[in-house]
Amino acid sequence: MTSISVAEAAPRRRGRGELGKAESRQALGFITPALAGLTVFTVVPVVLSVAMSLFDWPAWGDREFIGFGNYVDLFTSHPDFWPALRNSAVFTLLFVPLNLVVSLGLALLLGPRIRGRAAFRVLFFIPVVTPMVANVLVWRMLLQPNGLFNGVTTAAFDLTLPSFLNHPQWAMVMVVIMSVWQGMGYNMLIFCAAIEQLPESVLEAARIDGARGAQMFFRVTLPLLSPAVFFTTVMTMISSMQVFAQPQLLTGGGPGNATLPMVMFIYEQAFTFQQMGLAAAAAWVLFAVIIGLTALQFRAQRRWVHYEV
Amino acid sequence: MRSDVPAAVLAAPVRPIGPRLVLQYVAVVVAALLFVTPLVYAFFSALKPNDQIFAVPPTLIGSEVRWGNFVEVFRHGPFLTYISNSLVIAVAGTLVVLVVSTTAGYAFGRLRWSGRDLVFGLFLLTLMVPQEVLVVPMFQLMQWFGWVNTPQSLVLPFAFTAFGTFLMRQFFRGIPFELEEAARVDGAGPMRTFLQIILPLSRSAVAVLTVFTFIGFWNSYLWPLIVVNDYAYLGTLPIGLATFSGQFGTRWDLQMAASIIAMIPTALIVILLQKHLVKGIATAGIAGR
């Protein structure tokens, strides 16, 4: 796709100062809509959010500057903050590995010898693009005390399953399973693309050297796929720390606050309890956590991601 | 160079159908069946009388098949309003994103001006700001603008993300520079080159951006939940569906019918445009290398 980049083509057009200035003016015209929009709808909110986090900022009524009071309140006295952070962390710890194992497994299964693999790929991708609310409602039906899962085990094995959505641990497990079902198709497609790009010469050389089965997978294929695994791990982790709709609709954060994650905490503080300043502070804490985790991943990648070949 | 080597040697060896391949097929089919069970069961539940949805043992088809459930949904909530709101907002939002992303992508990818790379770097920096940091101050901003519960509040605030600009810029950079140079020599200004040369050559990238943006707006849930308070007027499909489930929590037949209706448009888009989308996602993924 890269034939001649602008940078390479540049020297040819040097020494045309007048035209250069004209081009700068034209560029300004082209970029103004994006620049104006990003300023109003991203830069201003970011600055505003920092300011809000330093205020007692109710949705209506008087605002009062309280310095880092909101942050102190979150870390020391707010009863729901630590559980929310813990819930987001637990969700991420369960969701990311499960998502990657399932999506990579499916991508490997859907190899070149499987007929109709394009159709299978699209099938596994569908819940990624259908409205999350609809996906969750379907699972809420399945997980009802007399839903499909319990109905099948009762009828077939006379086994009554726990009431999933009313049990603290089971509720979290089900939020994770539902989310894996919904979201893994995206990573699967990325892995499919990465697998198709594997250098056939290296695989063939490994085969000639006698690599087979598990050895072939763990010593050859997986290291070759490690850049894609790294990319999907980082992206999936970032999005799973921001989980909201699945627990909000499946369990309402409950039972108690057993499945109430950070974004739902932020949403509730801001729009149910009208504590906009506290919510803004919580959002910055979450942002810092995400940045920290991402930075850790980038540091760790030197040890296990292979970019050569 | 290697024309003397028979093609069959270069191609992967044709392996016979062995037990491994059979196992692979079985695994794929089992996985696919498990995967579609929720969707299929939801569809058949939408056709059942409500009191049979939680029957034990569960059945796929109830005592009668009620296609009428799909019609009854529209009598229980303003679903036509939800659908048309979602459609208008998704189309308007997608148009804004396309105009903004292609013009800015052109300035970053094809024009030369001082400070370009610095400004582009700042653009990319905004990609790091997650939605949950933005929604709280954004709501405050909407209050100050007097935009709470207005259509523009659903379209504009999240139409200026740098992602589209980035995607377009990357694609535009790949177009041979000579094409544009020739047009310039013939006296075409940047607007004409942009409209008549660059955009037509970028149809596939524009298509990918269009589809992803449309789906993003169509499915958007958190922001409409915050900024809309009159659902009968401005409720979108996801919001309407969630409200419906709150109001008619015991009517699982109708909830399933409504869910299936909500799933159809985006599912169809993906099925019909699969090649473009798969390529777009593959590009995004490989960009991670």
Q: Is residue A42 part of a domain?
A: yes
B152 touching A, CB under 8 A? no
> At what angle are helices A222-240 and A81-109 packed, to 10 degrees?
150
B41 touching A, CB under 8 A? yes
Q: Is residue A8 part of a domain?
A: no
CATH number of the domain to which A202 belongs: 1.10.3720.10
Please list every residue in chain B whose beta carbon sits closer than 8 Å to the beta carbon of residue A287.
129-130, 132-133
Please indicate whether, in this complex, the C-beta atoms of B133 and A284 are within 8 angstroms of each other. yes
Q: Is residue A7 part of a domain?
A: no
Which residue has better confidence, A188 or B65? A188
B123 touching A, CB under 8 A? yes
Please indicate whether, in this complex, the C-beta atoms of B38 and A133 are within 8 angstroms of each other. no
Q: Which domain holds residue A146?
A: 69-304
**B227-286 residues touching A, CB cutoff 8 A:** 237-238, 241-242, 245, 252, 255-256, 258-260, 262-263, 266-267, 269-271, 274, 277-278, 281-282, 284-286
A189 in the same domain as A292 = yes
Q: Is residue A18 part of a domain?
A: yes
Please indicate whether, in this complex, the C-beta atoms of B281 and A190 are within 8 angstroms of each other. yes
Please list every residue in chain B whose beta carbon sits closer than 8 Å to the beta carbon of residue A124.
32, 35
Q: Is residue A123 part of a domain?
A: yes
At residue B6, the pLDDT reads: 45
Please list every residue in chain A whose beta carbon sits closer than 8 Å to the beta carbon of residue B103.
30-31, 33-34
By the 8 A CB rule, do B174 and B166 touch? no
A202 in the same domain as A159 = yes
Superfamily name and number for B77-247: MetI-like (1.10.3720.10)
Q: What is the ipTM for the molecules in this complex?
A: 0.86
A170 in the same domain as A38 = no
Please give the Cα distance from A3 to B142 (Å, whole number). Answer: 45
Q: What is the pLDDT of residues B84-95, one digit of tens each?
A: 999 999 999 999
Q: Is residue A155 part of a domain?
A: yes
**B95-114 residues touching A, CB cutoff 8 A:** 99-101, 103-104, 106-114
Please indicate whether, in this complex, the C-beta atoms of B266 and A49 are within 8 angstroms of each other. no
A269 in the same domain as A174 = yes
Mean pLDDT of all residues in A95-124 = 92
A74 in the same domain as A47 = no
What sign does the CA torsion over A217, A221, A227, A229 have? Answer: negative
A89 in the same domain as A24 = no
Nearest to B282 among A38, A48, A190 (CB): A190
At residue B241, the pLDDT reads: 92
What is the pLDDT of chain A when averaged over all its residues?
A: 88
A121 in the same domain as A244 = yes
Alpha helices, H only, chain B: 7-10, 19-46, 69-76, 79-109, 116-126, 131-145, 151-155, 162-173, 177-185, 190-193, 199-201, 203-219, 222-227, 231-234, 237-247, 252-272, 274-286
A75 in the same domain as A46 = no
* 3-state SS class at B263: helix
Q: Which of A132, A261, A274, A122 is nearest to A188 (CA)?
A: A122
Band (A6; pLDDT cuts 50, 70, 90) = very low
A98 in the same domain as A45 = no
A77 in the same domain as A46 = no
Please indicate whether, in this complex, the C-beta atoms of B160 and A42 are within 8 angstroms of each other. yes
- DSSP assignment of A142-193: HTSTTSHHHHHHHHHH--PPP-GGGSHHHHHHHHHHHHHHHHHHHHHHHHHH
**Domain count of the fold of chain A:** 2
Q: Is residue A220 part of a domain?
A: yes
Q: How many CB pairs under 8 A join A and B?
A: 314
A93 in the same domain as A46 = no
Q: What is the pLDDT of residues A205-249, one digit of tens each?
A: 888 888 888 888 888 889 999 989 999 999 999 999 999 999 999
The DSSP output letter for A12 is G
Please list every residue in chain B whose beta carbon sits closer than 8 Å to the beta carbon of residue A276.
136, 139-140
Q: What is the pLDDT of residues A34-70, one digit of tens each?
A: 999 999 999 999 999 999 999 999 988 889 999 999 9
Q: Give, for A55, the enclosing helix (H) or strand (E).
A: strand A55-56
At residue B288, the pLDDT reads: 37
Nearest to B112 among A6, A35, A127 (CB): A6
Domain parsing of chain B, residue ranges: 7-71, 77-247
Please indicate whether, in this complex, the C-beta atoms of B100 and A13 are within 8 angstroms of each other. no
- The answer to whether residue A16 scores a pLDDT higher than 60 is no
At residue B273, the pLDDT reads: 85
Q: Is residue A1 part of a domain?
A: no
Q: Give, for A64, the enclosing helix (H) or strand (E).
A: strand A64-65
Q: What is the pLDDT of residues B78-118, one digit of tens each?
A: 999 999 999 999 999 999 999 999 999 999 998 888 889 99
A21 in the same domain as A121 = no
Query: How far does A2 lie from chain B, in Å, by closest CA?
Result: 4
At residue B284, the pLDDT reads: 56
B121 touching A, CB under 8 A? no
* 3-state SS class at B146: coil
